[in-house]
Amino acid sequence: MKDSKEIRKEILGIIGLGYVGLPLAMEFVRSGYKTIGFDIDVKKIDRLSNGEIYLKHIGEDRVKNFFNSGLFTPTADVSRLNEVDLISICVPTPLDKYRQPDLSFVEDSARAVAENIKQGAIVILESTVYPGTTREILLPILEKGGNKLDKGFYLAFSPEREDPGNEKYTTKNIPKVIGGLSEQSRRKVVEIYKSVFDEIVEVSSAEVAEATKIMENTYRSVNIALVNELKVIFDKMGINVWEVIEAAKTKPFGFTPFYPGPGLGGHCIPIDPFYLSWKARKFGINTRFIELAGEINTMMPEYVIMKTIAALNKNKKSLKGSKILVLGVAYKKDIDDSRESPGIKIIELLQDGGAEVSYFDPYISEIYDMRQTDLVMSSVKLKDELLKEQDAVIIVTAHSNIDYKNIVDNSSVVIDTRNALSGIKSHKIFRA
């Protein structure tokens, strides 16, 4: 796909320059729009101002084209929102400590927009939320600024379906679902977004668009839970679930493969379904599939520990006092995101059991200042001597740039939660 050379007249803005917002900014720029990126994290703004990208999975060429275009301006100054014709909100939507939706970042952004919005601007919420958020939370805050929908501004929801690290499907070629709070709002967004995205999917309301994203992530969560449960059952029967999946997926219809693992991670699958559960409770409905899937998936780190204890036992060792190396704390391979990662939970459980734990991750040199843990650790260097000192190595993330044969050769016990060792035969390997 050729980069656009024409500079377009509209100026676009993005609030929140993280895993979702920054690739979106790059796509706006590639489509020829002057783009202002807003973030409250001044460290991120400083790095971007120095021509530096903090997301490691984005290729050098893309980064170079982005900054060389001269079309991107990063800033922490929200008063500059009055310069933009379209504002896309891509801020976090976590759960609070009671596992309820925390919309504070969305609300703060909405207030900043309300105070600074340019007459006639388009606002799009892209953060994952429960159905009804755009209308019930965002709209009143924006109207408090004195403007009215379809008069002073336009408002829509368009879910982000970004999959960091996926080289086949990127921001541009993932179909973009758009639902407006009004017909006019939807049309306004489509007019601009059709010049950025390859395919636009228009739906009848913001609520349908919000529910679409929640459905996609709930579908993943439930199917991953199912395959995690099957893993445990088949393991008891001496059957390798990975081999079963490979065989099952040869069926040309009616089966979509999902893969088991050490537990869910990232800012989406472990969180988003609970946005729906919370909203469903307001209607007196229990989301039983979501709860059950959550229960099974959150038990997976404990299952990994159980299998580790069994493996150590075979070598007449206990968890307490054992040296254990966790390989990978990113929530999935080849990216630098450790949010909600099962690797973190596994480290904590191992430490609780009295193990001496270290970790190696080529993408995450340090663990600190995380929402779900007080853990502070640095990645060790992966050396043969280090592997030889370990009582067990647990593969939590199957990063591509690791020599797994070498890991097995130099370790006494390897617990594989990702089928990273599928081609290797050794009595040292234990599946978990």
Ligand X SMILES: NC(=O)c1ccc[n+]([C@@H]2O[C@H](COP(=O)([O-])OP(=O)(O)OC[C@H]3O[C@@H](n4cnc5c(N)ncnc54)[C@H](O)[C@@H]3O)[C@@H](O)[C@H]2O)c1
What residues make contact with ligand X under the rule CB under 6 A? 15-21, 38-41, 44, 90-93, 105, 108-109, 127-128, 160-162, 164, 267-268
CA-to-CA distance for 37 and 110, rounded, in angstroms? 15
Closer residue to ligand X (CB): 20 or 227: 20
Contact between residue 116 and residue 79 where contact means Cβ atoms under 8 Å apart: yes
Ranked by CB distance to ligand X, the top (closest) residue is 18
- Express the helix, strand and coil content of the chain in percent, nearest 5 each: 40, 15, 45
Cα angle 290-292-294, degrees, rounded to a multiple of 5 = 65
- Give me the least distance between CB of 73 and ligand X, in Å please: 14
Which among 112, 203, 268, 293 is annotated as catalytic?
268
Contact between residue 162 and residue 17 where contact means Cβ atoms under 8 Å apart: no
Q: Where are the beta strands (DSSP E) in 189-280?
A: 200-203
Residue 90 a catalytic site member: no
Cα angle 49-268-122, degrees, rounded to a multiple of 5 = 55
- Give me the least distance between CB of 230 and ligand X, in Å please: 26
Residue identified by tokens 């520990």 is: 305
Q: How far is CA 289 from the centre of its chain?
A: 21
Query: What stretches of 102-150 show up as alpha helix (H) in DSSP?
Result: 104-116, 133, 139-144
- Give me the least distance between CB of 161 and ligand X, in Å please: 6
Closer residue to ligand X (CB): 124 or 414: 124
Contact between residue 71 and residue 105 where contact means Cβ atoms under 8 Å apart: no
Closer residue to ligand X (CB): 106 or 377: 106
- Give me the least distance between CB of 148 and ligand X, in Å please: 23
For residue 74, the surrounding DSSP H or E stretch is: strand 72-75
Closer residue to ligand X (CB): 40 or 200: 40
Closer residue to ligand X (CB): 41 or 52: 41
- Give me the least distance between CB of 51 and ligand X, in Å please: 18
Question: Which 3 state secondary structure label does DSSP give 154?
Answer: strand
> Any idea which residues carry the catalytic annotation?
268
